[in-house]
Structure 1
Amino acid sequence: MYPLRVLPRSSQVPWRRYLWLLCLLLVQVCPRWALADETPLRVMTYNLHGAYVTAQTALAVLRPHRPDLLLLQEVRNVDYLAGLGRALGLSYWHFAPYTRERGGVAILSRWPLGPAQTLPWPQSRQGKLALAAQVAFSARTVWATSVHMDNPLVGKTPPTFWQKLGLFWREFFTTTPRMQEAQALRDWLQQLGAAETIIGGDFNSVPFARADRYLRQYFRDALAIDLAQYFRGTYWGPPHGPFLPRVDYVYYSPHWQVVEAQVIQHKASDHFPVLAVLIAAPALKPL
């Protein structure tokens, strides 16, 4: 059995010194990174049905869900909007009126908003539009967008079965006003430089229609987190049918991920609101 040979101190490998040198090198050469911010952002979109829903009724629906960001359609006027904001603690707002109907779209936010940007649909016969503004949220900036697309059934008598079938065919396979508005929306947001985006609204189009398929090339649908919620109807007003259609959406850019999403089935308006709780996507972010 051979005795262990102990190297003199001068010949031992100075591994601690090399480890410190490696750490210093990483600090100097590599970019500084931090984990994504996990502060949740509670987003709701809601079509308030114009003059038919009082502020007290709307608050009874909204308040239990503690929204941080509200993307609204068919808002009566600015006084109505400001009253909702005060009651919900959402101090910052923008309102954009429809051009051919009463009311408008709006954004309510817990955090400061940048200047309002509007996009009236070029081919709209109803004066609908989109409204966008930057939100200063948790040391980052995100574009919030409230959208209302044209209703294909407005001003028409209740459709027959065959008329409904024709409507679905057109929405799924042809270029309808909703499809044109979806393209205009995406192009407009790109021109604004709105890379980090949250979009909510009444799209008057069902899942997998051409407008939805187009938007999902660039954004994600919050309700896709839950199959039961994904197909849950959001419009229960006339014309009635055996199934409630989902026409209200919260879309978001890949900078975010959903931790909760649901259709709030409360019959105050003729639409149900949609809630989405978002956090930053779990990618490493530069400091």
Structure 2
Amino acid sequence: MKITTWNINGVKARLETALAYLKEASPDVICFQEIKSVDEGFPREAFADLGYNVETFGQKGFNGVAILSKWPFDEVKRGLPGDDSDEQSRYIEAIVSLPALAVRVGCLYLPNGNPLGSEKFPYKLAWMDRLEAHGRTMLNDEILFVLAGDYNIIPERIDAKRPDAWTGDALFQPESRAAYRRLVALGLTDAIRACHPDPGVYTFWDYQAGAFQKDDGIRIDHLLLSPEAADRMVAAGIDRFPRGWEKPSDHVPVWVEIAGN
């Protein structure tokens, strides 16, 4: 099963880009973040024409997540547990079942947290605490799972071309990075780092100042695998090529391949 995550930065604005990528890469499952669409406005038919089932947790104008799969969904859940008052659409989860493999896929769009000093940074950290608690619960269930998405976290200095430029940003604060480490310390595997330990591995380049052309990137989109999923990992990678297309997202697709029985 090939599972891909991609912050699409507006599914309607980048529909042709998304469809072109799916035709070329053909993942079994793709998790979109920042769809910026209500559920009713999501262009389901265009993806259905490519053979994808669609589940969304949308929000007008910003946020919003979706899971698309060539295989049936079971147990679809919307919203991250732990705070019934949270009205932001940032998490959707479903079990995807192939004949020889079932995986629980969590698609997440973690809060950015900027600007520091506002209520947005404590919200980010609280959201990460909830994600850690949910990860612990899923580990107890002993089903293969993948937490895929835009984490808005630069885990280490190696994950930025110019790490010192990010020291005043919520993405690179010690508290944010510590929360990410606690999540991984549950026993999860960062798929990209496990397969690509060297520098220069990025998933996001700002639209400004020719960042992509200079390869001035950061790695903030991650695939965290449960131990059972990590045992079956065949490969993981980053598809940079859509960033060079016309009207691209500022993020690129990140994927992992998991073997069946």
Q: Give the TM-score of the pair, scaled to structure 1.
A: 0.66
Letter in 2 for 1:49: N
Task: Give distance in 1, aligned partners of 2:22 and 2:105.
Answer: 18
Structure 2 letter corresponding to 1:252 = L
Matches within 5 A, 1:131-280: 131-153=92-114, 177-191=123-137, 193=141, 195-208=143-156, 209-217=177-185, 218-224=187-193, 225-228=195-198, 231-237=200-206, 243-256=216-229, 257-265=232-240, 266-267=242-243, 268-280=248-260
Query: Residue in 2 aligned with 1:70?
Result: 30
Give, in angstroms, the shift of residue 196 of structure 1: 1.6
Q: C-alpha distance in 1, partners of 2:258/2:122?
A: 31
Q: Name 1:116's counterpart in structure 2.
A: 76
Q: 1:177–1:212: structure 2 CA closer, same or farther, 3 Å change rule?
A: same
Gaps of 5+ in 2: 157-176
RMSD: 3.1
> How far 1:48 moved relative to its partner?
0.9
Tell me: CA distance 1:272–1:61, structure 2 relative to 1, closer, same or farther (3 Å): same
Is 1:48 the counterpart of 2:8? The answer is yes
State the alpha-carbon separation in 1 of the partners of residues 132 and 200 from structure 2: 24
Residue of structure 2 equivalent to 1:83:
45
For residue 260 of structure 1, give the secondary structure of its aligned residue in structure 2: strand
* Number of corresponding residues: 220
Give, as a single letter, the amino acid of the residue that structure 2 aligns with 1:44: T
In the superposition, the TM-score normalised over structure 2's length comes to: 0.72
Q: 1:129 aligns with which of 77, 83, 90?
A: 90
What is the letter of the counterpart of residue 181 of structure 1?
A: W
CA gap 1:52/1:111 in 2 versus in 1, 3 angstroms = closer
Between Structure 1 and Structure 2, whose CA radius of gyration is higher? 1
- Report the 3-state secondary structure (helix = DSSP H, G, I; strand = E; otherwise coil) of the residue aligned with 1:227: coil
Classify 1:119/1:239 alpha carbon distance in 2 versus 1 (closer, same or farther; 3 Å).
farther
Give per-residue Cα distances to partners, 1:43-86, cap 9 Å, x unaligned: 11011111563311211223211100111112234453413432
Q: Percent identity?
A: 24
Asked if structure 1 preserves the Cα contact closer than 8 Å seen for 2:63 and 2:89, the reply is no
- Distance in 2, matches of 1:238 and 1:152, equals 20
CA distance in 2 between partners of 1:255 and 1:272 (Å): 26
- Maintained 8 Å contact 1:235/1:246: yes
Distance in 1 (alpha carbons) for counterparts of 2:250 and 2:49? 22
Q: Tell me: CA distance 1:210–1:246, structure 2 relative to 1, closer, same or farther (3 Å).
A: same
Query: 1:59 maps to what in 2?
Result: 19
Greater shift, 190-199 or 247-256, is seen at 190-199
Equivalent residue, structure 2, for 1:20:
none
Residue identity opposite 1:272 in structure 2: V
CA distance in structure 1 between the aligned counterparts of 2:251 and 2:200, rounded to whole angstroms: 15
Amino acid at match of 1:95: T
Deviation at 1:204?
A: 0.6
Deviation digits for residues 116-174 of structure 1 (CA, Å, limit 9, x no counterpart): 21224749988242111111222443211100111123xx6xxxxxx8xx9xxxxxxxx
